[in-house]
């Protein structure tokens, strides 16, 4: 993993005062790790490796396999490739293919059929392992029925005996190797870097291990393992991105996530804690400093650009259309006014017939014109007159206010006894009685409203007196009321969100209430059971809240009233409470939250433009840059119930006496490709130092080449200390005589001594 070159410091130090726009990186794919061209068959046939039977070194990692022959002048493996194969059949040609290494990424068919021999970091699929070894030996130029070279191979820490047994069986029975020896890659890497005493910390594809090393020998009994590595970190970052951008227009692949992990993420190593660092990121300006923009490829649709003359012509057409609409609306208003004036003249003439003919004939005439009574005609004439006056006032630019107070209506027939009225006037009396009831109800409502306004004014007066007499207590009381209002708004919003999820507690409680009502009042049973308790539901106003909960109705009116009351309260606090500022208002709080969310998703600059296709294909990484790497120190952040890497080191150091502990603490050796986060060494040193005594020195050193140092250490041991290598190797004869579980312990062994 290569460190990223960024525009600002990435270790949590004090940022600069001026804002720097976030750098934009074009997304890349993680390149294949193939290295070396291998050895041809002719070159192998005439080499000293074959003549001398040089040991064959295989660093069998779960992500990459590195292989080559061990000689005194060996500088690196002859060949390295991704430890995967792909078997698939081309249906068009009817041909089966077997690919290995980087060739597995050629197309969709090969990628979909890709397989690994590992389950986490343990070899479990030996059919795939056999194909991988076939490919390895061919690339090393060995084109014979047997492999006449001793093999030194790596295995995982505390590899299960069953896996080692099947690997030995494959090598002895299928390839006829003369002897096999297994060791731990991190110990070989320490050997290559001349580390004899220290704490070896290694993080690979699927796990992180910590092994104490004293006098050149790994103490496997005191070793610790953390089930977290590069592939899990890649998957974790991919899930965070998918949760952050659920509607991202392009599919984000695992290889792209690995590229972002290697180029964007880092370990926070500031002077404060990680939690304090995250707390600072709650400010949008601080979060923006961590922002890195990843640009995914996109295609822009070509749009025809109009000339200035064409744009001006379009604008003129729009203005002309607006003028036509205004003229049409004016004509429509004039036509309506003329129609109302004609109607008013017509109804005035109709009213004149009242004195020209008998009342029965007059009422019949009104009925033929659609009026039920004389009062109905009078009301219609008054409405037309009011509408005409408003229309004329609007034409003159005046306010459309009431120009004339409505006269108080009279109801003369209500007080006359029924026996003194004929049938027609009885009908009119019933109508007047209803009209009078409605008029009196409106008067009562108006009086109640006036009383309510009086009470409000009285409440305001008392509140003002309280404020003047004891301003501090008044301010505390109002702030408490204000906080309670905000809490109610948040609870309602949270409950609405929960009700939309049928699995939430609120939705389940709602269904329980419905079920309870259904059981208390069975369908089709209208009669109350004798002797039953009286149903008092509804006697309390709180009972009716259950219906609102069941219906899930929109409480928009209630919310509007609360918003109005909160606005009035905010205004009073702003006027009379010096500790309450514009930043404390609910609108400001929401604005800060929205700004933080927008900065989290889209950054600060440039401003988010939903129409910009380029911005739609951008991913902003900020908190994720440190959150993924922080899992090594706090595995619980990714749901791993284990101790962090610093705690594992502290637990191991605690098992040793003072002198050995000092040797281990002063040489903490770091290797593995998942340890290449920027500031990894600094954070590890500080976190381990905080667990040790003050006089205990802690030093972190790093492998010169985390990729090939393990292989070089294996080759160095097998060639320069050949006698020890041959002594601890298990020959085929020993394997057959002493059983498949037999192995010899040595200083680089990955298994615990029985």
Residue 503: predicted pLDDT: 67
Residue 243: predicted pLDDT: 94
Q: How many structural domains are present in the chain?
A: 2
Three-class DSSP category at 437:
helix
Residue 557: predicted pLDDT: 61
Is there a domain that residue 582 lies in?
no
Both 321 and 185 in one domain: the answer is no
Is there a domain that residue 584 lies in?
no
603 in the Ramachandran plot: left (φ > 0), alpha (ψ -120 to 50) or beta?
A: left
From 387, 407, 427, give the residue that closes a domain. 407
Report the distance separating Cα 9 and Cα 308, nearest Å.
47
Range of the domain at 74: 41-82+115-191+707-738
Beta bridge partners of 670: 201, 702
From 407, 430, 449, give the residue that closes a domain. 407
CA 229 to chain CA centroid, nearest Å: 22
Is there a domain that residue 301 lies in?
no
How do residues 24-64 score in pLDDT, each as one tens digit?
888 877 666 656 778 888 888 888 888 888 999 999 999 99
Say which DSSP state 16 is in: P
* Residue ranges in the chain whose pLDDT is less than 70: 1-21, 30-35, 303, 395-407, 499-504, 506-507, 510-511, 513-558, 605-606, 753-754
Is there a domain that residue 219 lies in?
no
Residue 369: predicted pLDDT: 82
Contact between 229 and 204 (Cβ < 8 Å)? yes
Residue 102: predicted pLDDT: 85
Measured in degrees and rounded to the nearest 5, phi and psi for residue 35 equal -145, 140
Spatial neighbors of 5 by CB under 8 A, at least 6 apart, are none
Four-CA torsion 504, 506, 509, 515, nearest 10 degrees: -90
Contact between 580 and 574 (Cβ < 8 Å)? yes
Both 313 and 178 in one domain: the answer is no
Enter the tokens of residue 364.
């019949």
Is there a domain that residue 19 lies in?
no
Is there a domain that residue 421 lies in?
no
Measured in degrees and rounded to the nearest 5, phi and psi for residue 447 equal -65, -40
Angstrom CA distances, 6 to 444, 622, 750, stand at 73, 13, 39
Is there a domain that residue 342 lies in?
yes
Report the distance separating Cα 133 and Cα 7, nearest Å.
45
Is there a domain that residue 363 lies in?
yes
CATH for 734 = 3.30.420.40
Spatial neighbors of 129 by CB under 8 A, at least 6 apart, are 117, 123, 167, 170
Four-CA torsion 131, 132, 137, 141, nearest 10 degrees: 90
Residue 754: predicted pLDDT: 59
Start-to-end Cα distance in the chain:
37
How do residues 595-624 score in pLDDT, each as one tens digit?
888 888 888 766 778 888 888 999 999 999
Report the distance separating Cα 573 and Cα 576, nearest Å.
5
DSSP sequence for 520-560: HS-TT--SPPTTPPP--TTSSGGGGHHHHHHHT---HHHHH
Angstrom CA distances, 500 to 106, 493, 558, stand at 45, 11, 20
Report the distance separating Cα 633 and Cα 644, nearest Å.
4
DSSP sequence for 132-196: HHHHHHHHTT--SSS--S-EEEE--TT--HHHHHHHHHIIIIIH--SEEEEE-HHHHHHHHTT--
From 407, 428, 443, give the residue that closes a domain. 407
């Amino acid at each position: 993993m290569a460190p990223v070159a960024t525009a600002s410091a990435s270790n949590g130090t004090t940022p600069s005062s001026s804002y720097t726009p976030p750098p934009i990186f074009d997304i890349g794919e993680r390149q294949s790790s193939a290295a070396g061209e291998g050895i041809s068959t002719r070159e192998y046939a005439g080499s000293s490796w074959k003549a001398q039977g040089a040991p064959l070194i295989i660093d069998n990692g779960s992500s990459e396999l590195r292989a080559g022959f061990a000689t005194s002048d060996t500088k690196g493996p002859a060949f390295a490739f991704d430890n995967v194969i792909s078997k698939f059949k081309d249906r068009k040609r009817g041909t089966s293919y077997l690919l290995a290494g980087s060739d597995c990424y050629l197309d969709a068919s090969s990628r979909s059929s890709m397989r690994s021999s590992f389950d986490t970091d343990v070899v479990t699929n030996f059919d795939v392992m056999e194909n991988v070894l076939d490919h390895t030996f061919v690339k090393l130029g060995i084109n014979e029925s047997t492999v006449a070279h001793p093999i030194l191979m790596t295995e995982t820490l505390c590899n299960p005996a069953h896996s080692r047994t099947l690997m030995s069986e494959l090598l002895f029975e299928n390839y006829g190797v003369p002897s096999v020896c297994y060791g731990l890659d991190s110990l070989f890497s320490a050997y290559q870097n001349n580390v004899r005493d220290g704490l070896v910390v290694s993080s690979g594809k699927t796990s992180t291990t910590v092994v104490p090393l004293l006098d050149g020998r790994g103490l496997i009994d005191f070793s610790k393992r953390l089930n977290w590595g590069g592939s899990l970190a890649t998957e974790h970052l991919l899930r965070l991105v998918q949760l952050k951008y659920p509607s991202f227009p392009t599919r984000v692949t695992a290889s792209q996530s690995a590229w972002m992990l290697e180029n964007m993420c880092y370990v926070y190593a500031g002077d404060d804690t990680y939690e304090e660092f995250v707390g600072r990121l709650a400010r949008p300006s601080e979060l923006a400093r961590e922002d890195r923009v990843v640009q995914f490829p996109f295609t822009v649709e070509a749009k025809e650009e109009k000339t200035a003359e064409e744009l001006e012509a379009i604008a003129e057409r729009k203005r002309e259309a607006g003028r036509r609409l205004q003229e049409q609306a004016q004509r429509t208003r004039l036509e309506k006014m003329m129609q109302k004036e004609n109607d008013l003249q017509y109804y005035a003439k109709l009213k004149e017939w009242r004195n020209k003919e008998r009342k029965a004939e007059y009422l019949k005439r009104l009925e033929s014109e659609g009026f039920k009574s004389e009062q109905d005609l009078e009301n219609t004439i008054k409405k037309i007159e009011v509408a005409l006056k408003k229309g004329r006032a609007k034409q003159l630019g005046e306010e459309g206010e009431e120009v004339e107070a409505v006269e108080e209506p009279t109801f003369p027939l209500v007080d006359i006894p029924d026996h003194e009225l004929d049938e027609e006037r009885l009908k009119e009396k019933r109508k007047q009685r209803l009209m009078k009831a409605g008029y009196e109800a409106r008067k009562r409502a108006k009086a109640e409203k006036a009383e309510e306004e009086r009470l409000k004014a009285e409440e305001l007066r008392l509140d003002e007196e309280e404020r003047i007499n004891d301003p501090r207590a008044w301010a505390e009381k109002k702030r408490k009321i204000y906080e309670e209002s905000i809490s109610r708004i948040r609870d309602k919003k949270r409950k609405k969100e929960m009700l939309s999820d049928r699995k939430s507690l609120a939705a389940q409680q709602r269904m329980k209430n419905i079920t309870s009502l259904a059981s208390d009042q069975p369908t089709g049973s209208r009669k109350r059971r004798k002797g039953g308790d009286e149903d008092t539901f509804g006697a309390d106003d709180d009972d009716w809240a259950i219906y609102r909960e069941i219906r899930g109705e929109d409480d928009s009116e209630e919310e509007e009233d609360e918003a109005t009351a909160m606005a009035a309260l905010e205004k009073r606090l702003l006027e009379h409470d010096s500790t309450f500022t514009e930043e404390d208002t609910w609108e400001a709080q929401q604005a800060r939250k929205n700004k933080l969310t927008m900065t989290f998703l889209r950054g600060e600059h440039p401003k988010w433009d939903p129409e910009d296709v380029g911005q739609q294909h951008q991913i902003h990484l900020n908190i994720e840059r440190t959150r993924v790497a922080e899992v090594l120190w706090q595995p619980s952040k990714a749901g791993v119930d284990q101790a962090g890497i610093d705690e594992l080191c502290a637990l191991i150091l605690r098992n040793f006496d003072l002198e050995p502990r000092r040797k281990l603490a002063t040489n903490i050796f770091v290797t593995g490709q998942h340890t290449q986060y920027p500031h990894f060494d600094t954070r590890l040193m500080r976190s381990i130092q905080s667990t040790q005594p003050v006089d205990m020195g802690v030093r972190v050193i790093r492998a010169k080449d985390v990729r090939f140092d393990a292989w070089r250490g294996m080759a160095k041991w097998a060639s320069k200390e050949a006698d020890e290598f041959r002594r601890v190797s298990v020959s085929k004869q020993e394997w057959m005589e002493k059983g498949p579980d037999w192995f010899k312990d040595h200083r680089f062994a990955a298994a615990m001594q029985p």
